[in-house]
Amino acid sequence: MPSLSVSFEFFPPKTPAGQEKLLLVRDELAATNPEFFSVTYGAGGSTQDGTLQTVLALRESGIDTAPHMSCIGASRAELRNQLQGYKDKGIRRIVALRGDLPSGMGRGGELRYANELVEFIRQEFGQDFIIEVAAYPEAHPQAANLDEDIKNFVRKCQAGADSAITQYFFNADAYFYFVDRVRAAGIEIPIIPGIMPITNYTKLARFSDACGAELPRWIRKQLESYGDDSESIVKFGEEVISNLCQQLIDGGAPSLHFYTLNQAKASLAVVNNLRK
């Protein structure tokens, strides 16, 4: 599918070497002509300035770049200032999240959930921003059940989200079921699958535990069997993720959003396979 639409997510680098690498990765991924880049944000304030600096650095490639922002722990005044700052810098797309506070920081903040943040952005800034929200085909880890989570997702859409990006998953049926349920509730916005390339078993297992994404037994077993043979892990990962993406596109996914972890190679390999 030569015209396949993609986007890429980065995090703010923490070291000068990471910063230097970011620019190389940016240029490699910009060459695929993505729809947009996005940059994660540490709820609780750890990387707020890092997010902005990274957005500005990525944007120099000419690709529209969206900061993620979260409302948990923040006041309305703080959120308004942050959004005004983004608007003044010509930022036109936001990934709007509730976020998670680091443990021990309590809850705080004036807005409790992402639907309230979306509503706030629309009230204060009208249509100045394209708003992306998060979706969880396997249910958000804190959700009582999938039905409740879908209802809450629908609230975010009704509050004015333009598009959604999913948590990563390895089971295409979860995505198709989620999209069907959301469409049945009358929501028509694009729901873009979030794609996590597989390059390292230990890190993948840790991330998946933390965010509640299911790492299927057959993938886990196969990755375990490779031990520290990273070449085999990368080769297997490329095959699994390319197949998953092909299934998603064949089933109607509008675009793919890659969690790059600031690495170009694995995402590029998959995009190149799909665009053949």
Comparison of 165 and 274: residue with beta carbon closer to ligand FAD:
165
Comparison of 165 and 264: residue with beta carbon closer to ligand FAD:
165
Gyration radius of the chain over CA positions: 18
Catalytic residue among 9, 119, 132, 238: 9
Specify whether 119 is catalytic.
no
CB 117, min distance to ligand FAD, A: 8
Which residues bind to ligand FAD, rule: CB under 6 A? 40-43, 68, 70, 95, 97-100, 113-115, 134, 140, 142-143, 148-149, 152, 155-156, 165, 167, 194
Strand partners of residue 92: none
Comparison of 23 and 143: residue with beta carbon closer to ligand FAD:
143
Question: Both tokens of residue 216?
Answer: 């299927």
How buried is 135 (Cβ within 10 angstroms: 0-12 exposed, 13-18 middle, 19+ buried)? buried
Comparison of 70 and 267: residue with beta carbon closer to ligand FAD:
70
* 163 CA to centre of own chain: 12
CB 48, min distance to ligand FAD, A: 11
Q: Quote the CA–CA distance of 17 and 19 in Å, as a whole number.
A: 5
CB 222, min distance to ligand FAD, A: 25
Question: Both tokens of residue 119?
Answer: 């509503």
CB 31, min distance to ligand FAD, A: 23
Please report the beta strands in 33-185, taking only residues with DSSP state E, as ranges in sequence order: 36-39, 65-70, 93-97, 130-135, 163-168
What is the enclosing helix (H) or strand (E) of 265? Answer: helix 265-275
Q: Which residues are catalytic?
A: 9
